[in-house]
Structure 1
Amino acid sequence: MERRLLADTRPLANPHFRRLWLANIVTVIGAQLTVVAVPAQIYTMTGSSAYVGLTGVFGLVPLVVFGLWGGALADVFDRRTLLMVTTVGLILTSAGFWLQAALGAEDVWLLLGLFAVQQAFFAVNQPTRSALLPRILDKQLLPAANSLNMTVMQAGGIAGPLVGGALIPLVGFSWLYLLDTITLFATLGAVVGLPALPVMGATVTPGIRAVIDGFRYLRTQPVLMMSFVVDIIAMVFGMPRALFPEMADVAFGGPSEGGLAFALLFAAIPLGAVVGGVLSGWVSRVERQGLAVIVAILVWGFAMIGFGVAAMLASYAPAMMLGVAVLMLAIGGAADMASAAFRTSMLQSAAADEVRGRLQGIFIVVVAGGPRIADVAHGATAAATGAAVAAAGGGVLVVVFTVAAALAVPAFVRYRVTRAAYDH
């Protein structure tokens, strides 16, 4: 029973997947240091959650443009080559973050501009990376592989904020950016070791027509379309990360430049996702994947309501309410991990190889774009209502709209896959 509950590690028997996975253990910690450092540096410069929320705008535009175009590129060019180019681009932009911090730059627009360039490389890299998995793994291993990948990413999301939140007051921002730059070389080495991965089947010219064709294909797949819709609902209305610097400072009494409360809030969602990932042996055995996604997103919504309420009550018992807030975020992180594993596997297994890159491009726009829209929306709402009300209200909207979506498209709730039971 315990082995059936713990994560399915069979994908690690594949040497190419194993090298990528092990490299990610190093790389994602560095990446999360930058994820923490950018909003913290902006908040230190400006003292405003609205400016922190602008990372949503500067991240979303390149994410949409280059995510869609990058998906088309991944359906034309060798995916190994494309990963090498974009990984080098990520290394260079991380070095740019380090340089501006080391020189003591106080220009928030320079910082946001670097962030936009980084997101452009990320937007091409991620759909390419996802599109190659079905080429190196059996389809029945995709849910387990996605759970393993997400577990590593979220583990970095714990270590990064904890280390970053503690180090920022001691060493400043430049060292965090430098560590991110260095750790990216681990992924570059793993990518170099991949075999050539040319696209199977018909290829297209990577332009606007190819992107439109990808959307046309998606329109014929209502279940996959619905998987995007519910994720947009969950992330746009329910992701409160732009509020973490203000809530750590105002609600929980931490210093404006970082500190323990700041680190705990940033680490809580990844912590829950890691726990969910370690105990993800069940995901490969779930047949009613559509219903599982709906349940997971509802849990996420209720958890965000609890997080906002805890912040509202923080003045009465700051330490206890900080613990409750972290617990609510962790529960949400576990639910989000399960939802993402199912949605990613549904998309990877359903699409033909010649359109897989474009669909993964749309997927990354939705998955990463939703939180960036949330950054803007939560930052603006918090300026009017307060951060705690913005967080709780977003959770309420997640629950309402998810229930409405499930009722509107019952085919998604009924969607199932047939999998042979197995032990591992």
Structure 2
Amino acid sequence: MPPAAPGALRRLAAAFTVDLSPWRGSRDFRLLWSAGAITVFGSYLTLVAVPLQLKQLTGSSLAVGLIGAVELVPLIVCGLWGGALADAMDRRRLVLRSEVAQGLCAAALLGNALLPHPAVWPLYLVAALSSAFGAIQRPALDALTPQIVAHDQLTAAASLNSLRWNAGAIAAPALAGVIATSAGVSVAYAIDLATFVASVLLMYRLKPVPALASAEKPSLRAIADGLRYARSRPELLGTYAVDIAAMLFAMPTAVFPFLADRLHADWSLGLMYAAFAVGALLTTLTSRWASSVHRHGRMVVWAAIGWGAAVAGAGLFSDVWLVLLCLVAAGAADMVSGLFRATLWNGTIPDELRGRLAGVELLSYSVGPQLGQVRAGGMAALVGVRASIWVGGLACVLAVGALAAALPSLMRYDARTDPHAVAMRERRAAEAARQREADPADPAVLAG
């Protein structure tokens, strides 16, 4: 082997590891990441405990299903309003207040569970309120990231955030199920409340992130301005449209219980639900290479096509292990798409609009899966479970291909030359230079 070969192999191996530069370079990113990791576990506890308690109190599957319905409207309304708030006020303060509000929701669930005869209606009320506060908070959280990490570390930051979420999505539900079923829902709510206390204490240490002096006050007009900006950016619209199409046509989780029956493998149901997160986790654990990619739009398109193809395979194969492998591959492809969507968004949208556009993004990746569940279930009733899955996957491939053809600007996007990306890099570099002049000893000052 030539002497240069070992060095090349080391560089290749290094490209498929996790890039920790945002964690090392930004104190605020470490605080925010740690708070989120704690909250993920508590949130899954409540995600499991609320349906379980409803089942115990009502014995009705319809009553359990209505939880999703009461959460959807607050998500849509408050997501857009939260984006306007994120652009008009200190984002750190908004995130902190929303976290406190969600902690109070956990406290309300605990108080109801400790009553001699817990009531049903508080579960629906708290679910709606928690969805509203979460939707208000999410745009501010998303808008914070570009302000607390270096511009060239945005992909790595998105990967680390996804790593936190996907690791939680694999481990937390299993632990949550054990705690809620063995120790009781009141214990689950108490632990969730404790995680909110811990995350609030961490978020309190974040530095203020005040809004610009010229920031618009939250209003319908401000929301409309954000929507008009999104409309003026075809490549942004393309990322939203591709994600919605992928989730609408190829989100099969609603029929997983029936697919496990068709494959005569009831034991595989839990693995099916975990498979997407496993694939996504594998992507994030090997994501250092993503920071060297510049054509983010193309990666979004190809990853969405890969998602659809993998879902189609899950519907076509009759061997349960091949089905699970396809679902893992789908989760990996979806994570690739998510990484590059986040990088394109965070690397090109101005700070004064970032919150409102984050509200639009929240709708694009939240409403799509909800509609996809309806599509999968309805089509399964008409053509069968496996056909619903593979037809949906094929429809995703065709729809994403059509969108790529209709939106050439998405395929042409190059972060090295795109005027929006160039302007943001120059803006970040100027801000970092000003901060160095103001406080050259501050190790948290970003390099650009």
> What is the TM-score of this pair, normalised by structure 2?
0.81
Contact 2:280 2:332 in 1 (8 A): yes
One-letter amino acid of the counterpart of residue 191, structure 1: M
Q: Deviations over 1:232-286 (max 9, x none)?
A: 11122222333345555776564xxxxx644323222111111100100111111
Q: Which has the higher contact order (CA 8 A, sep 6+)?
A: 1
One-letter amino acid of the counterpart of residue 333, structure 2: A
Name the residue aligned to 2:353. 355
Distance 2:18 2:122 in 1: 42
Contact 2:298 2:410 in 1 (8 A): yes
Name the residue aligned to 2:313. 306
Contact 2:102 2:133 in 1 (8 A): yes
* Pick aligned residue for 2:92 from 77, 80, 94: 80
One-letter amino acid of the counterpart of residue 409, structure 1: L
How far off its partner does 1:63 sit?
Answer: 1.1
Name the residue aligned to 1:33. 45
* Pick aligned residue for 1:338 from 336, 341, 353: 336
Unaligned ranges ≥5, structure 1: 255-259, 314-319, 420-424
Distance 1:303 1:414 in 2: 25
Q: Deviations over 1:185-219 (max 9, x none)?
A: 33212210111111125211211111001001111
* Pick aligned residue for 2:234 from 222, 225, 229: 222
Task: After superposing the two structures, state which structure 1 stretch, 344-353 or 374-383, moved more.
Answer: 374-383
Q: How many residues align?
A: 403
Distance 2:359 2:59 in 1: 33
* Pick aligned residue for 1:398 from 396, 399, 407: 396
Contact 1:161 1:264 in 2 (8 A): no
How far off its partner does 1:399 sit?
Answer: 1.3
Distance 2:268 2:52 in 1: 13
User: C-alpha root-mean-square deviation of aligned residues, in Å?
Assistant: 2.7
Name the residue aligned to 2:5. none
Name the residue aligned to 1:57. 69
Structure 1 residues 363 and 57, CA gap change in structure 2 (3 angstroms):
same
How far off its partner does 1:301 sit?
Answer: 1.0
How far off its partner does 1:110 sit?
Answer: 5.4
1:271 to 2:278 alignment: yes
What SS is found at the alignment partner of 1:282?
A: helix
Unaligned ranges ≥5, structure 2: 1-11, 418-448
* Pick aligned residue for 2:197 from 185, 204, 212: 185
Distance 1:252 1:171 in 2: 32
What SS is found at the alignment partner of 1:93?
A: helix
Q: Deviations over 1:95-136 (max 9, x none)?
A: 3444555667584x7544432221111111111011111211
Structure 1 residues 57 and 70, CA gap change in structure 2 (3 angstroms):
same
Query: Share of identical aligned residues, percent?
Result: 37
Distance 1:384 1:63 in 2: 30
How far off its partner does 1:154 sit?
Answer: 0.8
1:141 to 2:141 alignment: no
One-letter amino acid of the counterpart of residue 338, structure 1: V
1:366 to 2:378 alignment: no
Contact 1:56 1:371 in 2 (8 A): no
Q: Deviations over 1:370-417 (max 9, x none)?
A: 222223443444455554443333222211211111111122112112
Distance 1:39 1:381 in 2: 26
Contact 1:75 1:199 in 2 (8 A): yes
* Pick aligned residue for 2:411 from 399, 410, 413: 413
Task: After superposing the two structures, state which structure 1 stretch, 178-187 or 282-291, moved more.
Answer: 178-187
One-letter amino acid of the counterpart of residue 153, structure 1: W
One-letter amino acid of the counterpart of residue 6, structure 1: T
The structure with more radius of gyration = 2
* Pick aligned residue for 2:223 from 211, 216, 225: 211
Contact 2:45 2:180 in 1 (8 A): no
Distance 1:307 1:167 in 2: 32
How far off its partner does 1:77 sit?
Answer: 1.1
One-letter amino acid of the counterpart of residue 3, structure 1: A
Contact 1:162 1:264 in 2 (8 A): no
Structure 1 residues 263 and 357, CA gap change in structure 2 (3 angstroms):
same
